[in-house]
Amino acid sequence: MIFKTACLLTGGDPSKLELFVNNRTRLTGEVTVSSSKNAILPILAASLLTDEEVQIDRVPSIKDVIIITELIHNLGSGIEKKENKIIFRAAQVGTSPDYELVRQIRASFLVAGPLLARHGAIKIALPGGCAIGTRPIDLHLKGFRALGAGIGLSGGNVIASSSGLKGNHIYLDFPSVGATENIMMAAALAKGTTYIENAALEPEVVDLANFINTMGGRISGAGRNVIRIEGVKRLHGSHYTAIADRIEAGTYMVAAAATGGDITIKNVIPEHVKAVTAKLIESGAQVAEGRDKIRVKRDGAIKPLYLKTLPYPGFPTDMQAQFMAYLSCADGSSVITESVFENRFMHVPELSRMGAKIKAESRTAIIKGVKELSGTRVKATDLRAGAALLIGALMAKGTSIISNSEHIDRGYENIVDKLNGLGADIYRQEEESRH
Ligand code: EPZ
């Protein structure tokens, strides 16, 4: 079901699809951003907190959403899809999500908090690591234990149980987005009040809190360092639309600057992309903000930058790869430090195949600007690395072929149509079977 659905998305077996990007293109025109992947995924998980109907509108058709929807359905929740709306009815749900589905995307672990809150027991696969790092869950489990759950690990599963969660003070050693969200969802139905200190400040955390409050939750302080969750006896249904995807918006913003183009990105919240705007202006691009749109253009040289990724509102780690592609043709050397993940430079060897001059050691990369990139065959290793290779290909002279393109479809809705609508010449093709 999942792959079939995913194939409907991408018109073929995603594991065998390559993207052909014909020659460099100056991107121009308008593009509309979809709802945020990283807001929608925890919101879909939070639909498990009630046995009443939850309707989410403007759900993007991306692979991660398909997988987590399948997982929630597999748990027993009723699901009805009408165009880009999804209606959930989690009247009766199990306590143990499908092992294979959980292993597919890390965000599946976000059902742990709601199931623990709802049933007081869960058995869930440890999320796999992925290309960008080991991705531990120790802070999630620290929060569950603080709420009174007994936690065990067995056979690659986390087994948790509690006779009823109780509010507590929880300090996060790192402002983890997922841990903040999972603990918030578990605490929403706990007895008493919970304080999450050193909480993640990301807009997606705020959107989740807002969503739970539309269900009758009592959460305050989201977006600040301390979030207060007053547990309630039950939560009711809701009808909600998530915020716009700030990383998709940022990706089109940097694509405009990288190709010397002129793009207006619509359905964006300028406040959420402040760090990206600031660094684009510093690099010599022009950025004009409207109420819910942003126009980006560049016609002069690309100025080199010092970039360090940080938790929100610092420069987003999810934009690091895309900026590395952009800076590969800067007028000088740039330095990028990746402080959030320990292994998020998988795009470096692939960009180097296009002619970029990048030296990466541990968490720092030095990018010596070159005059131009050359199209060639490259491989996407993860979602944002794939986006970076697309940007590199749009900057490069000659045709590029990007294999493993299904990584890109995990988080960018209709990216081929959206880029071709801006003047690109991209198409998908089945990978020739090579022996
Ligand atoms: C969320 O991942 C996003 N995913 C990621 O986006 C994003 O890069 C990340 O936040 C940081 O902003 C979703 O929201 C679905 P974290 P998450 O927990 O929650 C360490 C994309 O491209 N950590 O904030 O997994 C962890 O190892 C994806 O859209 C622990 O040590 O990120 C990492 O180094 C990629 N223990 C750092 O914190 C824990 O228990 C940040 O992780 C949890 C995390």
Q: Residues with catalytic annotation? A: 130
In tens, the pLDDT along 202-246 reads: 999 999 999 999 999 999 999 999 999 999 999 999 999 999 999
**Distant-in-sequence, close-in-space partners of 24: CB < 8 Å, separation ≥ 6:** 259, 372, 394, 395, 396, 397
The verdict on the CB of residue 246 being under 6 Å from ligand 1 is: no
Give pLDDT, residue 135: 75
Nearest CA to ligand 1 atom 31: 136
Give pLDDT, residue 97: 93
Report the chain's mean pLDDT, rounded to a whole number.
93
CA of 107 to the centre of ligand 1 (A): 9
Give pLDDT, residue 302: 98
Q: Which atom of ligand 1 lies at the shortest distance from residue 177's CA? A: 24
In tens, the pLDDT along 53-66 reads: 999 999 999 999 99
CA of 268 to the centre of ligand 1 (A): 22
Q: Where residue 129 falls among pLDDT bands split at 50, 70, 90? A: low
CA of 131 to the centre of ligand 1 (A): 13
Give pLDDT, residue 15: 55
As a whole-number percent, the residues of the chain with pLDDT over 90 amount to 88
CA of 427 to the centre of ligand 1 (A): 31
Check whether 49 has a pLDDT greater than 80. Answer: yes
Give pLDDT, residue 130: 65
Average pLDDT over residues 131-159: 90
Give pLDDT, residue 20: 97
Domains and CATH numbers, the chain: 5-33+244-434 (3.65.10.10), 37-241 (3.65.10.10)
Give pLDDT, residue 104: 87
Give pLDDT, residue 33: 98
Check whether 128 has a pLDDT greater than 80. Answer: no
Give pLDDT, residue 17: 82
138 by Cβ neighbours in 10 Å (0-12 / 13-18 / 19+) ranks as: exposed
Give pLDDT, residue 348: 98
In a mutational test of the pocket of ligand 1, which residue from 63, 177, 246, 342 has the highest number of ligand atoms less than 8 Å from its CB? Answer: 177
Q: Yes or no: say if 352 and 286 are a contact pair by the CB < 8 Å rule.
A: no
Nearest CA to ligand 1 atom 17: 178
CA of 36 to the centre of ligand 1 (A): 15
The verdict on the CB of residue 383 being under 6 Å from ligand 1 is: yes
Nearest of 104, 168, 111, 178 to residue 139 by alpha carbon = 178
In a mutational test of the pocket of ligand 1, which residue from 317, 340, 345 has the highest number of ligand atoms less than 8 Å from its CB? Answer: 340
Q: Yes or no: say if 150 and 163 are a contact pair by the CB < 8 Å rule.
A: no
Q: Which atom of ligand 1 lies at the shortest distance from residue 135's CA? A: 27
In tens, the pLDDT along 261-309 reads: 999 999 999 999 999 999 999 999 999 999 999 999 999 999 999 999 9
The verdict on the CB of residue 318 being under 6 Å from ligand 1 is: yes
Give pLDDT, residue 303: 98
In tens, the pLDDT along 22-41 reads: 989 999 999 999 999 999 99
- What does the alpha-carbon distance between residue 375 and residue 392 come to, in Å, rounded to a whole number? 8
CA of 339 to the centre of ligand 1 (A): 12
Nearest CA to ligand 1 atom 38: 176
Give pLDDT, residue 3: 38
- Tokens 């944002």 identify what position? 384
Termini Cα distance of the chain: 28
Q: Where residue 10 falls among pLDDT bands split at 50, 70, 90? A: very low
In a mutational test of the pocket of ligand 1, which residue from 34, 109, 137, 174 has the highest number of ligand atoms less than 8 Å from its CB? Answer: 174
In tens, the pLDDT along 387-432 reads: 999 999 999 999 999 999 999 999 999 999 999 999 999 999 887 6
